[in-house]
Amino acid sequence: MRVLTAALILISAIAVGHAAPQSSKSKSTGAPETFNARATVGSAEGRGDAYISITVDKYTPEKQLQAMENALKRGSAAFVTALRAAPVVGRLTVGDKTFDVRWARQVATDKGRTISFVVDKPVYFIGGGLPGAKAREGFDVAVVQLVMDSSGIGEGRLVAAAKVKPGGETGVEVEAYDAEPVTLRSVMRIIVS
């Protein structure tokens, strides 16, 4: 069981309508916007790729983020309850499955921005079907973090089944059900028209 320490900087998205790749001249970083990526999953048993899409309808307002952060101080269960009470701000699509994003936040960096999302249920329990797999209880959400440059290109991570709890250096720990988070490669921002 690996514990990932991360700042809770989370963002959501959904693939809608007609979209065009972002031009390097366009610096707009607001919603609506879509991110497409190649997810690479690997273990000792094998490796595989899948394509995901995250569409952000709007970023979560600061007041709602603060309410969820305050709930997290009371524990993981309180955080999940507050998350599920928040309005949907986007969608994460993996194959033919779509998941609601209820936490979406972007933070500017010197080279672009870090965008994070929390999905209101797990996407997949990687390794959950193997003999001797650990219990799924408490792994109630999924977490995505993207690191994007100013031209709309980046990379990221997906914790497909996560337990978010208080603690660690940043005040937030994200415990992954699987040994390693899913690597997101070739992340590209798409401008939604």
pLDDT per position as a tens digit, 85-101: 999 999 999 989 999 99
Q: Nearest 10 degrees: CA dihedral of 86, 187, 6, 130?
A: 90
Say if residue 39's pLDDT is above 70.
yes
| pLDDT value of residue 3 | 39
Q: What is the pLDDT confidence band of residue 43, given thresholds at 50, 70 and 90? A: low
Tell which residue, 64, 58, 68, has the closest CA to residue 91.
58
- Sole residue written with tokens 């979209």: 19
Say if residue 17's pLDDT is above 70.
no
Q: For residues 115 and 135, which has the higher predicted lDDT (pLDDT)?
A: 115
Say if residue 175's pLDDT is above 70.
yes
Residues 6+ apart with CB under 8 A from 29: 106, 113
Tell which residue, 175, 189, 157, has the closest CA to residue 75.
175
Radius of gyration of the chain (CA): 16
| pLDDT value of residue 120 | 92
- What letter would DSSP give residue 66? H
Residues 6+ apart with CB under 8 A from 182: 39, 40, 41, 126, 157, 158, 159, 160
Q: How far apart are CA 162 and CA 160, in angstroms?
A: 6
Q: What is the pLDDT confidence band of residue 121, given thresholds at 50, 70 and 90? A: very high
Q: How far apart are CA 164 and CA 173, in angstroms?
A: 6
- What letter would DSSP give residue 63? H
Q: What pTM did the predictor assign? A: 0.79
Q: For residues 16 and 166, which has the higher predicted lDDT (pLDDT)?
A: 166
Say if residue 157's pLDDT is above 70.
yes
Say if residue 13's pLDDT is above 50.
no
